[in-house]
Amino acid sequence: MKDEPNPFDDIPGTTLFDAQRSRQGYHLNMFCMSLMKAENRAAFKADEAAYLQKFLMTPEQRDAVLKREWNRLIALGGNIYFLAKLFSTDGKSFQQVAAIMTGSTQEAYAQMMLNGGRSPEGNRSKKDWENRG
């Protein structure tokens, strides 16, 4: 069972929020959830590192939060809808953070969306991404 390849792992640039990631990211995501309250947002902004100590996160997760490394946060078990509480606290939109995660500029990403978005052609399998070099 354990060694069977997961077909979702073949989808490039995509992380499924599955059981393993949910367990890994529980405290990271619950930290994000705490930012739903205005008083918690204020406390976090006042001293981010101190605020993070209240949650049973790993040092790596805390570091990724402080540096706002979004793809790394996803890899460490963060879920995009929970991370949204963090980037909303920063005053950032979904589109701004999506652009950062794709390694694009805001302008280029917004223009790609206006042009109809990222095509599924060449983006279905990790092989597609390897082939494009």
What are the residues binding another protein (CB under 8 A)?
Answer: 7-8, 11-19, 22, 26, 29-30, 32-33, 35-38, 41, 71, 74, 79-82, 84-85, 88-89, 93-95, 98-99, 101-103, 109, 112-114, 116-120, 123-125
Cα–Cα distance for residue pair 38/120, rounded to 1 Å:
39
3-state SS, residue 97: helix
7 versus 59: smaller Cβ distance to another protein: 7
Minimum distance from CB of 49 to another protein (Å)? 21
Cα–Cα distance for residue pair 129/94, rounded to 1 Å:
24
8 versus 67: smaller Cβ distance to another protein: 8
Residue 30: count of CB within 10 angstroms of its CB: 13
